[in-house]
């Protein structure tokens, strides 16, 4: 009889836990990049300090800039199409009419305090 109780309790516990569902964080976890060198082959600048960098005209499409510091960086004519800029610091970032912004997530394309040309 004792075994039957243990099995019954275990079965009911499993049902109760499955009703709660699984914990799921809607956004992907943040992992800082270990390589912050600006280059054609580097696509991961997460958490990098790129303040005051000259990124003029670079193809940065689909690159990861999550939580990167882009303060006062020059993005004139840069291609940010599809770039992930969630949490990036963009104060004073320089952009112009030739900066490509389609599908860029957050960042300089949507900020109101930019220095434009």
Query: What is the pLDDT, as a whole number, of residue 60?
Result: 93
Pairwise pLDDT comparison (6 vs 43), residue with the higher score: 43
Handedness of CA 71, 34, 103, 106 (dihedral sign): negative
The mean pLDDT of 61-71, rounded to a whole number, is 93
Q: How far is CA 95 from CA 33, 79, 92, 103, in A?
A: 24, 11, 9, 16
Superfamily name and number for 43-117 = E3 ubiquitin-protein ligase SopA (2.160.20.80)
Backbone angles phi, psi at 69, to 5 degrees: -95, 110
Both tokens assigned to 36:
């912050």
Both tokens assigned to 11:
């079965």
């Amino acid at each position: 009889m004792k075994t039957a109780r243990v099995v019954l309790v275990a079965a009911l516990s499993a049902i109760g836990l499955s009703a709660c569902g699984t914990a799921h964080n809607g956004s992907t976890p943040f992992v800082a990049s270990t390589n912050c060198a600006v280059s054609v082959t580097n696509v991961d600048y997460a958490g990098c300090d790129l303040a005051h960098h000259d990124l003029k005209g670079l193809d940065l499409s689909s690159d990861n800039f999550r939580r990167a510091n882009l303060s006062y960086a020059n993005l004139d004519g840069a291609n940010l199409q599809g770039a992930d800029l969630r949490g990036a610091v963009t104060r004073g970032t320089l952009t112009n009419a030739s900066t490509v912004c389609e599908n860029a997530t957050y960042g300089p394309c949507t900020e109101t305090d930019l220095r434009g040309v």
